[in-house]
Amino acid sequence: MTKNGINGDSPSGKENKQNQILKAKTEWEESVDSIDDVMILANLENKILRCNKMLCSLTGKNYTELLGEKWDDIFSGSGFKIETKGQEHVEISHQSGNWFHLNTRTVTNKKNVVYGNVIYLHNVTKLKNARKEIEITKNNLEKKNLELENAYTDLKKAQSQILQQEKMASIGQLAAGIAHEINNPVGFIMSNLNSLQKYMNKIVEFLKVQSLAISDLASPSKKDIDSIMNNVSQKQKSLDLDYILGDIENLIKESLDGTNRVKVIVQDLKSFARVDESEHKVANINTGLNSTINIVWNEIKYKATLKKEFGDNIPMIKCNPGQLNQVFMNILVNASQAIEKQGEITVKTWHDNGHIYVSISDNGSGIPEKTLNNIFDPFFTTKEVGSGTGLGLSIAYDIIKKHNGELKVESKVGQGTTFTIEIPIVAE
């Protein structure tokens, strides 16, 4: 068998190769025709050398009509709008409303010589619409976020107003007692001033008698001296000057104590009335409790004995003292109102394991178990209409939560109630 007969290009071998090439060509064309994107092979003059069926579908022209035509002219005449030429990657629009991504790449032969371009057109309408939807959604989210921020700001303002209103309402409920606490020292100060005025008149009268006696002693006889001295002595006794001089010191001391009492009450009241929602500073819990007790004292003193068991060396903490005082006031007032006749309220403080604890206990009527679960709910109250807002304990709970603390309650009907406040120690 000859060499050509075994390995050469026999007629049957050539035919087989041609069939294989034709089959591969057909498979390639069918594959390229099956995709939804436009594919074009063009020469350096932009004339179409090959294309797939998608270009025929978009332009309405058959394959033969497209060959030899410039691809950009074909696009322009088929409703495409190419605004930028010469770039490898551009987006072009179609009169149908669709958008396409146009990609051009150069084609080289085996010698690396450029002989044409491949133009690839991909429909990006869905992607572009999705981007628009994402952008719209993003803008809507930004708008919603802004609305939420504004709503949150308004909510904080409203919360601050409610907090202040409840604080003033609490003080309003205690106003008569506070006025009584102020009136007591003011009353005896006025009485003392009246007494001092009378004493002053008597002292002035005695000083006149004494001054006259001094004038008479300028050139007296022994008899005259005895008479003058006797007259001064009688006047001193009749005016009761010895008593007056001793009592003046007591009157002044008592008045100073009274004015100091008024000063303390006014200062404590001022700290409660002040709007200090955002004010955090280093404070002492025991000092705040004493201040609060001064404010509510008239509410307590006629109904209960107050026991203070303040812990030693309670750490100073960074907190909002005005708000904490409001919590103490609400719980102390509730404790007083829970005692029908005469009872006992115990205020205790201590610190342990990085926390400060405040417990306020009473031996009053207690809280029923079914009510205990609702006492921190806004507007929940068991008092008569007009006697309370139902916000006191709810606000107290929120204040303690803002300090990252806990407000707990234990109660038994007929035995009393204990509120325990736990606040983490936050240094400055």
What per-residue confidence (pLDDT) applies to 310? 93
> 245 with 309, same domain?
no
Instruction: Compute the average pLDDT of residues 351-378.
Output: 84
What per-residue confidence (pLDDT) applies to 274? 56
Of 225, 245, 275, the last residue of a domain is 275
What per-residue confidence (pLDDT) applies to 367? 84
What per-residue confidence (pLDDT) applies to 106? 84
> 190 with 123, same domain?
no
**Which two tokens mark 213?**
């006696």
**Which two tokens mark 183?**
């009136």
- Structural domain contains residue 401: yes
Looking up residue 377, the CATH number of its domain turns out to be: 3.30.565.10
Instruction: Please tell me which residue, 88 or 305, carries the higher pLDDT value.
Output: 305
What per-residue confidence (pLDDT) applies to 421? 93
Checking if the pLDDT of 268 tops 50, the result is yes
**Which two tokens mark 428?**
């400055």
Amino acid identity of residue 19, one-letter, is N
Instruction: Compute the average pLDDT of residues 36-51.
Output: 89
Residues 406, 400 contacting (CB under 8 angstroms):
yes
Of 275, 298, 322, the last residue of a domain is 275
Instruction: Please tell me which residue, 165 or 292, carries the higher pLDDT value.
Output: 292
Lowest mean pLDDT among 156-160, 249-253, 400-404: 156-160
- Categorize the per-residue pLDDT at 346 as very low, low, confident or very high, splitting at 50, 70 and 90: very high
Q: How far apart are CA 316 and CA 283, in angstroms?
A: 5
Burial 197-209 (b: 16+ CB within 10 A, else e): eebeebeeebeeb
Distances from the Cα of 384 to the Cαs of 120, 137, 227, 380, 388, in angstroms? Answer: 82, 51, 77, 11, 7
- Categorize the per-residue pLDDT at 191 as very low, low, confident or very high, splitting at 50, 70 and 90: confident
> 268 with 292, same domain?
no
> 356 with 393, same domain?
yes
Residues 82, 99 contacting (CB under 8 angstroms):
no
Instruction: Compute the average pLDDT of residues 191-212.
Output: 80
> 203 with 61, same domain?
no
Residues 281, 201 contacting (CB under 8 angstroms):
no
Which range of 18-22, 143-147, 354-358, 370-374 scores highest in mean pLDDT? It is 354-358
355-362 and 416-424 strand pairing? antiparallel
What per-residue confidence (pLDDT) applies to 180? 63
Concatenate the DSSP letters of all residues of 110-144 into one string: TT--EEEEEEEEEE-HHHHHHHHHHHHHHHHHHHH
pLDDT in tens, 117-150: 888 888 888 888 888 889 888 888 988 888 888 8
Q: Please give the share of the chain, as a percent, with pLDDT higher than 90.
A: 9
- Structural domain contains residue 219: yes
> 209 with 265, same domain?
yes
Number of folded domains that form the chain? 3
Q: Which domain holds residue 399?
A: 277-428
Distances from the Cα of 294 to the Cαs of 172, 297, 325, in angstroms? Answer: 15, 5, 11
Q: How far apart are CA 226 and CA 68, in angstroms?
A: 155
The mean predicted confidence, pLDDT, of the chain is 79
Polymer length of the chain: 428
> 195 with 256, same domain?
yes
> 98 with 172, same domain?
no
- Structural domain contains residue 251: yes
Checking if the pLDDT of 169 tops 70, the result is no
- Structural domain contains residue 4: no
pLDDT in tens, 4-35: 444 555 667 677 877 887 887 788 888 888 88
Of 223, 258, 275, the last residue of a domain is 275
First-to-last CA distance in the chain? 105
Q: Please give the share of the chain, as a percent, with pLDDT higher than 70.
A: 79
User: Please, which residues bridge with residue 105 across strands?
Assistant: 118
- Structural domain contains residue 12: no
> 225 with 298, same domain?
no
**Which two tokens mark 93?**
């629009």
- Structural domain contains residue 23: no
- Structural domain contains residue 340: yes
Instruction: Compute the average pLDDT of residues 259-268.
Output: 76
> 271 with 310, same domain?
no
Residues 52, 32 contacting (CB under 8 angstroms):
yes
Question: Element (H or E) spanning 40, and its range?
Answer: strand 38-43
Q: How far apart are CA 284 and CA 123, in angstroms?
A: 72
- Structural domain contains residue 13: no
Checking if the pLDDT of 374 tops 90, the result is no
Residues 282, 428 contacting (CB under 8 angstroms):
yes
Looking up residue 51, the CATH number of its domain turns out to be: 3.30.450.20
> 270 with 298, same domain?
no
> 400 with 422, same domain?
yes
- Categorize the per-residue pLDDT at 386 as very low, low, confident or very high, splitting at 50, 70 and 90: very low
Q: DSSP alpha helices (H): ranges in 274-315? A: 285-300
Instruction: Compute the average pLDDT of residues 182-210.
Output: 79
